[in-house]
Structure 1
Amino acid sequence: MPESTAPQVSSFSTTFTPAHLKFINAKLEKLSPEKIIEWAMISLPGLIQTTAFGPTGLVILDMINRIHIDNQSAANVHPTPASSSASEDESDDGDHHFKKSGYNTQRHPVPLIFIDTMYHFQETLDLAQQVQDHYNIPLKVYKPLNCETTADFETQYGQHLWETDDLSYDYLVKVEPGRRAYQELGAQAVISGRRRSQKGDRAHLDILEIESGTGLLKLNPLASWSFQQVWTYLRAYQVPFNALLDQGYRSIGDWHSTKPASNPDDERSGRWEGKQKTECGLHVDYFKMRAEFQATQKKKQALLASREAAVVVAAAPAIQA
C-alpha cells in the first residue's frame, strides 16, 4: 500500500487565526490577481504552484512570470543560463519525459508542480512541454508512487480503477503524489486555479484558505474571475493553452472522466458526468481521505484472504481423496 510520511501541520494554522484570516481576505478582495500573487511571493514562504495546465493555472503562471520579469528589470538583474554542470533541478526526481530547461531554476520564484496521473490527454502532455519551452522554466513532475508508466499502474491496481474504486483511484494518482510533492519541496502555501464561477464546492471560495488538518495555505488569486475573463487574458497575452479548449472543453482532467462542457453556464459540467462529484480529492480533507483509502484497502485485503481460505478449504477433500 503506497504511503508517504504524514505531512507536518504548517505553522500557518496557528499564525492565522480565523479573525486574522478574515481580515487578510477582506484586504485581498480589493486587489487585482497580479497584486495578490505579488503579495504572496513576498509574504508566504514555501510557496509553490500546482497545475494541470487548465486555463486559470496558465493565467497564474503567466502573471508570475511577468511579475518576476518586472522585479528583475527593477533590480537590473537578468536570468542567466544554468552552468554546464548539473543544477539542483537537473538532478531532481522530475519526469525525464519532459525536457529539462537550461534556465537557472534558483532564480525562478515559484516551483511549478504537475501531477501526472498517467491518464492525461495527449494534448495536456503536449501543452506541458510547450509551457516549459515558452517560459523557459522547469517542471517538477510527480506520478503515482513506484509507477513510471500507465502499464506499471495497471499491473499493480488493475485497469479502470476509476470505475471499480473511484476513491482509491483519486488517492493514488492525485492525492498521494500531490502530498508527496508538498513534503519534498517544503511547501507551506500552494497557489491553485480554483474560481467561484466554477460553482459546486468552489462557489464560496476565499482567496486565502487554510487546509483542514494539514494547516497548508491555499491561495486562489483568481477566485473572483469568470471563465470569460480568463479566456480574454489567455488571448490578449498569447498564453499557450490546451488545444481541447477549441473543441468545447472548459475544465480538463483525465481523458476517461472529461468531456466537452454540456452546460455553457457550468464550465465543469464536462467532468465526472453522471456522478455526484465535483472534486478529485486534491482540495478535500487529506487525512480523512487517507483514512478512507486505508479502510478500503483493508477491506480488499480481508476479502482476498477470505477467498484464498475458501479455495484452500474447497481443495482439501480432493487432496485427501
Structure 2
Amino acid sequence: MPSFASPVLQFDESQLKHINDKLDSMTPQQILDWVSVTFSGLYQETAFGPSGNAITDMLSAQGNTVPVIFVDTLHHFDETLELARRSQQKYNFKLHVFKPEGCDTRDQFTAKHGDELWKNDDVVYDYSVKVEPARRAYETLNVQAVITGRRKSQKGDRASLQVVEIEKGTGLVKINPLANWSFQQVWTYLRANEVPYNDLLDKGYKSIGDFHSTLPVKEGADERSGRWQGSEKTECGLHKDYFAMRAAFAARKKKEQQESAVATLTSPVA
C-alpha cells in the first residue's frame, strides 16, 4: 500500500476557504508565484494538453523550474508523445515518465491485460494506466503538491473546482491555477506566446486523452464532449477518490480470480 507524505502546510476547512477566496481573484501567474514559494515537493502533472502547456510556459517565463510528471498510459496519440519531446526540449524541465506497472510498451500491456481492456473493464483499465502509475510517481518522488491544468469550464466533475484542493485521505495538495479560465483564454495564450501545442488541436480536437476514446468535437460543443462518447464518464480516475478507485479495482480483480477458479474446476478433464 502506498505511503503518503504530509504536505508542508496543512489547512483546515476554514483556512482552505480563505486561501481559495484570496487566490480566486488572482491571475494564473500570481497563483503560480504563490505556489512556488509555498510548497516543497512541488511538481507539475500533465499529459501536455492545452492547459498544461500554458502552465509550463508561465512557469518558464517566471524562471520557476518545476519538474514534470507524465503518466504514459501506453495508449496516447503519437502526436502527444511528440509534443512531450518538443515541450521538454524547449523548456528544459526535468521529466519523470511513469507507465503501467510491469509494462514498457503497448504490446506488453496487451499481453498482460488482453485486447481492448478499456472496453472490457474500464475500472481496471483506468486504475492500471492512470491511477496506479500516478500514485507510484507520488510515492517515488515524495510529491507533496501537484499543479494540474483542470478548469471549471471543462464542466462535469470539474465544474465546482477550486484553485487549491486537498485530497482526502492522502493529504496531496492539488493546485489548479487555470481553474477560472475558459478554453478560449487558454488557446489565446498559446497562440500569443508561441507555446508548443498538440497538432490534433488543428484537427478539431480540444481535450486529448487516449487514442481509443478521444474524438474531435463539433464547433460550439463542450470541450470534453469528445472524450468517452457513449458513456457517462467525465474523468479517467486520476482525479477521482483514490481509495474508492483502488477498492473498485481490487473488487474487480477478486471477481476475475473467482470466476477463473470456477471455470477451471468445472472445465472437462482432457
1:194–1:222: 8 Å Cα contact kept in structure 2?
yes
Structure 1 equivalent of residue 94 of structure 2: 138
Structure 2 equivalent of residue 31 of structure 1: 26
TM-score by length of 1: 0.82
1:9–1:213: 8 Å Cα contact kept in structure 2?
no
Q: How does 1:1-321 map to 2 (within 5 A)?
A: 5-8=1-4, 10-11=6-7, 15-68=10-63, 109-262=65-218, 264-311=220-267, 314-315=268-269
Task: Output one character per residue of 1:62-113: Cα deviation in whole Å (capped at 9) or x when no partner.
Answer: 0111111xxxxxxxxxxxxxxxxxxxxxxxxxxxxxxxxxxxxxxx731101
Letter in 2 for 1:273: Q
- Partner-residue secondary structure (3-state), 1:249: coil
Higher-Rg member (1/2): 1
Task: Output one character per residue of 1:205-246: Cα deviation in whole Å (capped at 9) or x when no partner.
Answer: 100001122111110000000001000000000000000000
List runs of 5+ in structure 2 lacking aligned partners.
Answer: none
Identity %: 54
Divergent runs of 4+, >3 A: none
Letter in 2 for 1:21: L
Task: Output one character per residue of 1:87-145: Cα deviation in whole Å (capped at 9) or x when no partner.
Answer: xxxxxxxxxxxxxxxxxxxxx73110111101100100111111111112331110001
Letter in 2 for 1:195: R
RMSD: 1.3
Letter in 1 for 2:191: R
Q: Judging changes above 3 Å, is the alpha-carbon distance between structure 1 residues 15 and 193 closer, same or farther for their aligned structure 2 residues?
A: same
* C-alpha distance in 2 between matches for 1:7 and 1:253: 28
Task: Count the aligned residue pairs.
Answer: 270
- Partner-residue secondary structure (3-state), 2:146: strand
Structure 2 equivalent of residue 100 of structure 1: none
List runs of 5+ in structure 1 lacking aligned partners.
Answer: 69-107
- Partner-residue secondary structure (3-state), 1:141: strand
Distance apart, 1:11 and its partner CA: 4.3
1:41–1:109: 8 Å Cα contact kept in structure 2?
no
* C-alpha distance in 2 between matches for 1:127 and 1:309: 50
- Partner-residue secondary structure (3-state), 1:209: strand
* C-alpha distance in 2 between matches for 1:284 and 1:212: 10
- Partner-residue secondary structure (3-state), 1:40: helix
